[in-house]
Amino acid sequence: MKRILTGDRPTGKLHLGHYIGSLRNRVRLQDEYECFFIIADLHTLTTKPEQTGELKENIQQMVLDYLSVGIDPQKATIYVQSQIPEVGELAVIFGNLVNTPRLERVPTLKDVMKDAHITIPSYGLLGYPVLQAADILMVRAHLVPVGKDQVSHIEVTREIAREFNRVYGETLPVPEALVPQDLGTLPGTDGKTKMSKSAGNVINLSDSVGEVEKKVMSMYTDPKRIHPTDPGTVEGNPVFIYLDAFSTEGDKAQVTSLKERYTKGQVGDIEVKKYLVKVLNNFLEHIRKRRAEFEKQPELVEKILQEGTQKAREEAQKTLDAVKQAMKMDYF
């Protein structure tokens, strides 16, 4: 069975955008591949080195989000990056197989710097793709599910693996990026770009019924529509994008009717939003229930993390041993 590595930085609770963009795909992938899901806390240091005090809580919340959407620790390995010291040693070794200008050409670097208001990248931020290569090659992953904007990072990993094999002999797999068919992205509740924690325009998977209602009722819709009787635009309207993403088969007829009436000026934004509140809360109901069950068992959540991290570390040790043997650095 082929092996996959993917994961998230623990920077806060996961939201509906994460579900559409990656989580629902991971639930499917865990039945088709051997999956390792990394909680990449070391990667948070590249942009927020001063916020390590929040990591423990963020990690716990992320694991609860994973479990609540259906990621099964019996099928997938969930682990914490920083608790595997071997990944750091591998990153040091791999850092000598790629040059600085190559890392400066990674397209997402400037975007990350802009979003984080960074003018000069730290050594860690510039070397982000190298540590990522260590994450991927540490578990000898064959495939890495990523969006199109992350393919360039995986190419760095591929180059490092090929260079290591050229210099020291065939040791490491050369992984491939697994770019799923367009899973879609959700705009933020403010209608700007995509749903993003940093922009504060999210609906979290863990939001209560009341929180969902409050956020939906304040959502951006069609700025050109002043009165409920004005013809409205459905295409690109966040409320209808959410309805298309989360409505069930039983909702389809009502959603179609709302779209037709909206374009004719026969329904107001409030009615449409109230229906979206219903749809989203129905979707989140089973997720909330699963989350509540795991919240009652903190010792189980900790056990899942400990066992997953131990399994990942065993894989890391095997890889590091093979790497040192290939380099003739297995002195003792």
| Residue numbers annotated as active site | 114, 194, 197
198 annotated ligand-binding residue:
yes
What is the rounded CA–CA span in Å between residue 190 and residue 194? 9
Query: Please, which residues have CB within 8 angstroms of residue 253's CB and are 6 or more apart in sequence?
Result: none
Select from 271, 282, 272, 269 the least CA-distant residue to 212: 282
329 annotated ligand-binding residue:
no
269 annotated ligand-binding residue:
no
9 annotated ligand-binding residue:
yes
Q: 101, 61 in Cβ contact below 8 A? A: no
Query: Please, which residues have CB within 8 angstroms of residue 271's CB and are 6 or more apart in sequence?
Result: 258
How big is the CA angle at 196 (ends 247 and 118), to the nearest 5 degrees?
165
193 annotated ligand-binding residue:
no
Secondary structure element (H or E) that encloses residue 144, with its range? strand 143-145
Could you tell me the strand order of the sheet in which 176-178 lies?
76-80, 34-39, 3-8, 143-145, 176-178
320-135-12-33 Cα dihedral, nearest 10 degrees: -110
43 annotated ligand-binding residue:
no
Q: 195, 15 in Cβ contact below 8 A? A: yes
147 annotated ligand-binding residue:
yes
Q: 55, 10 in Cβ contact below 8 A? A: yes
308 annotated ligand-binding residue:
no
Query: Please, which residues have CB within 8 angstroms of residue 211's CB and are 6 or more apart in sequence?
Result: 203, 204
11 annotated ligand-binding residue:
yes
Residue with structure tokens 């697994």? Answer: 178
324 annotated ligand-binding residue:
no
230 annotated ligand-binding residue:
no
With both helix axes pointing from N to C terminus, report the angle between 86-95 and 151-168 in degrees, rounded to the nearest 10: 80
Annotated binding-site positions for ATP: 9-11, 17-18, 147-149, 186, 194-198
Annotated binding-site positions: 9-11, 17-18, 135, 147-149, 186, 194-198
Annotated binding-site positions for L-tryptophan: 135
